[in-house]
Structure 1
Amino acid sequence: MRVLLSGYYGAGNVGDEALLAGLVAGLRARGLGVAVLSADPGATSRMHGVRAFHRLAGLGPALAWAGAVLSGGGGLLQDATSARSLDYYLGVLRLARASGRRVAVYGQSLGLLSPAGRARVARVLAGVPLAVRDEDSLALAGELGLTGVLVADPALLVEVPLDVAPPSRDGPVVLVPRGGQDALNSALESLALQLSEDGVPLAAAAFHPRQDAPAVARLAHMAPTLEVRDASTPAAALRALSGARYVVSVRLHGCILAARLGVGFAGLSYDPKVRGFLSQAVAPAFQRPVDERALLNLVRSAPPIAEHAALHLTRLADEGLDWLAAALARRRVPR
């Protein structure tokens, strides 16, 4: 079967590209053909070795190619940032169903949703195989009258380059900011200043360069010895966390890729999807206003990752793809 993936792909966000890499590898390993709807089809084809269609202009040809359409993963089904974004992702599902394609929603977080958004998601997803990546989303699905299963983010399955070093107590503390989250980024800056004065090696990476590069530049200004690391591809992002002592991330996939590498990490949470993953991973979570003294003490101690939780999440991600392959083979959702 040929599966078309609909998500926030080709937009320069390495977290979504890591998620896509895990999905592509997992679906191909299960004998499925893969193509992707992308904001930049050429870049997506080069990075992932897949056929890619423009997410707008190429939608018709993409649906003609596909036997099934998969919405996900990521935080697509929300209208807190843009109602137009929700319109698009639900619209792809409606077009797929209208053209007789199998559909599924996979590896997503649900929400935040307005009352109108909740009603639309409930209507479009009725009867659609649904797998979400955190407990809060599973609970919200139930509130909307939807039946879902719990999986884990496919980025946990991304291939690790051979040159990525294991965690090291002598390595740097790696900081991953997020553009637009000034209060949380300010806490990272305070942390960087104090750790720099302590002589702790530091590094930072922009997981969405267009959004995050200014925040990384401010961290480098606060701590002149800080090493700025490339994170422009999933492999580069994994290398950015290579040999780390500890990771502190505002970005969700800074936490997820740290878990993939077995590096201890803490998250500064701006969104339910971040809190959801940190809870599943049994990892420290800080919310606004950040207790900067507690964060500093935590990072100085650099506790190891909760290995049992990370292993459980990796198994959940792998088993979720088995569920997905079976769901796509088993059923066609009525129009």
Structure 2
Amino acid sequence: MAGTNDSQIFRIAISGFYGFHNSGDEAVLRSILLALEEEAAAGGIRVQPVVLSADPEWTSRMYGVEAAHRMRPGDLLRTLRSCDGLISGGGSLLQDVTGALTIPYYVGVMKLAQWLGKPTFAYAQGIGPVSRRAMFPLIRSAMRRSKYVSVRDAESAALLGRMGVPLDRIEVVPDPVMGLPLPAGTVEPAVGVAETPPVIGVSLRRWREDGADMARAAEALVALSKRRPVRLRFLPFHTPADKVTSEQVMERLSGLLGDGSSAELADPGDDPQAMLLEVSNCDALLGMRLHALIYAANQQIPLLGLSYDPKIDQFLGRLGLKPIGTTDSLDAEAFADAACALLDSPEEWRVRYGPAILDLKNQAKKPAQQIVRYLRHNRSR
């Protein structure tokens, strides 16, 4: 940036579930990078991100930023020493559903930065579930020593409060992806010009070992196709797992869809904004992945959520919605009723839920604003 001197440049490490080619988490990273760039420019400083990634070379190519390997202690230590601070987040980092080492890793990175005297910032994190109370003191210590703490829902704030983090130090903000823009140069779709048949985005993930949830989802999609012709467009947010799941469900649909209906698999590549564009071209969306639902809300695409985790219910609740079903229960005809209602009256849905969506989009850059404000006020350190 012209006129920027060395005292106005801040190297900031970013820790999260990055470099795993998961569209949702990569969208979080893209959103954080764009928000930091925008807010830093507005504040007259420059932020140089260094992303801790499982695939540093890919992350550098994808985002045009410096990256270091998240699991190599030497790289991690050198990165934190060379940086002016650490952002932890966003995403569901502090939970023990995905493994016993998840919390120790992310808290460990925060504590290492703090031991090195670097300011740490929690960026729109989803906290929990945390089944092992032995993790509470670790999380409490890292959060209490952070310069700024934000979480993506009230439930996360309440859980931190129960761990002993003062509630007045926690800001509840939307998921960063609510602020993600479409790719540069994208022409906004014409309002009210829907494809025939309408496109239904479908984002599913394998959850139950017995596959009963995917069988019920397939049954629900068949029920919808019997009501009216639809084009089911499967959106794999986490490859290769979601691609395999989508193909398995499509195989279940083979020969069962109603006349004029079809099923296909999208391949938007690794760029999260390309997936956002895919979602923007849908007429409605059935989402199991959290970020599929967030993408749809971002673009005001009428959505139906299938819950497998409290974070789904929490996000839908912020919009004033409830899940259409869960991995344990999904009524095919009730789903078909709800989907048809969305397709018949999309503008009615947007009028009803648009204000809540707009509010979340406006709040999505709050963490970047707060972090830039801290850096500007502490540039002499």
**Distance between the aligned counterparts of 1:133 and 1:324, measured in 2?**
16
Q: Which of 316, 325, 332 is the equivalent residue of 1:292?
A: 332
Identify the residue that residue 319 of structure 2 maps to in structure 1. 281
Identify the residue that residue 3 of structure 2 maps to in structure 1. none
Identify the residue that residue 121 of structure 1 maps to in structure 2. 139
Identify the residue that residue 164 of structure 2 maps to in structure 1. 145
* Bigger mean CA deviation after superposition, 269-278 or 167-176: 167-176
Q: Which of 60, 69, 75 is the equivalent residue of 1:54?
A: 69
Helix, strand or coil: the match of 1:289?
Answer: coil
Identify the residue that residue 241 of structure 2 maps to in structure 1. 211
Where structure 2 has 5 or more consecutive residues not aligned to the other structure, the ranges are 1-9, 41-46, 255-261
Deviations 1:41-60 (A, max 9, x none): 11111111111101022202
Identify the residue that residue 358 of structure 2 maps to in structure 1. 311
**Distance between the aligned counterparts of 2:378 and 2:307, measured in 1?**
37
Q: Which has the larger radius of gyration?
A: 2
Identify the residue that residue 265 of structure 2 maps to in structure 1. 228
**Distance between the aligned counterparts of 1:27 and 1:243, measured in 2?**
28
Amino acid at match of 2:206: G
Identify the residue that residue 206 of structure 2 maps to in structure 1. 179
Q: Alpha carbons of 1:329 and 1:85: their partners in 2 closer, same or farther (altered >3 Å)?
A: farther
**Structure 1 position 163, deviation (Å):** 4.7
What is the TM-score of this pair, normalised by structure 1?
A: 0.93
CA RMSD of aligned residues (A): 2.0
**Given that residues 17 and 25 in structure 2 are in contact (C-alpha distance below 8 angstroms), is that contact kept between their aligned partners in structure 1?**
yes
**Distance between the aligned counterparts of 1:331 and 1:148, measured in 2?**
20
Identity %: 30
Identify the residue that residue 29 of structure 1 maps to in structure 2. 38
Q: Alpha carbons of 1:185 and 1:164: their partners in 2 closer, same or farther (altered >3 Å)?
A: farther
How many correspondences in the alignment?
332
* Bigger mean CA deviation after superposition, 79-88 or 287-296: 287-296
**Given that residues 280 and 296 in structure 2 are in contact (C-alpha distance below 8 angstroms), is that contact kept between their aligned partners in structure 1?**
no
Helix, strand or coil: the match of 1:100?
Answer: coil
1:154 matches 2:184: no
**Given that residues 313 and 322 in structure 2 are in contact (C-alpha distance below 8 angstroms), is that contact kept between their aligned partners in structure 1?**
no
**Distance between the aligned counterparts of 2:124 and 2:303, measured in 1?**
22
Pairing of 1:67-78 with structure 2 (within 5 A): 67-78=84-95
1:86 matches 2:98: no
Deviations 1:123-171 (A, max 9, x none): 3222322100011101112112213111111111222020563675433
Identify the residue that residue 16 of structure 1 maps to in structure 2. 25
**Given that residues 104 and 328 in structure 1 are in contact (C-alpha distance below 8 angstroms), is that contact kept between their aligned partners in structure 2?**
no
* Bigger mean CA deviation after superposition, 106-115 or 278-287: 278-287
Pairing of 1:185-200 with structure 2 (within 5 A): 185-197=214-226, 198-200=228-230
* Bigger mean CA deviation after superposition, 183-192 or 126-135: 183-192
**Given that residues 220 and 331 in structure 2 are in contact (C-alpha distance below 8 angstroms), is that contact kept between their aligned partners in structure 1?**
no
**Distance between the aligned counterparts of 2:333 and 2:133, measured in 1?**
39
**Structure 1 position 328, deviation (Å):** 4.7
**Structure 1 position 10, deviation (Å):** 0.3
Amino acid at match of 1:210: P
1:165 matches 2:168: no
Q: Which of 142, 146, 153 is the equivalent residue of 1:134?
A: 153
Deviations 1:86-127 (A, max 9, x none): 111011011101111110111111001021122321132223
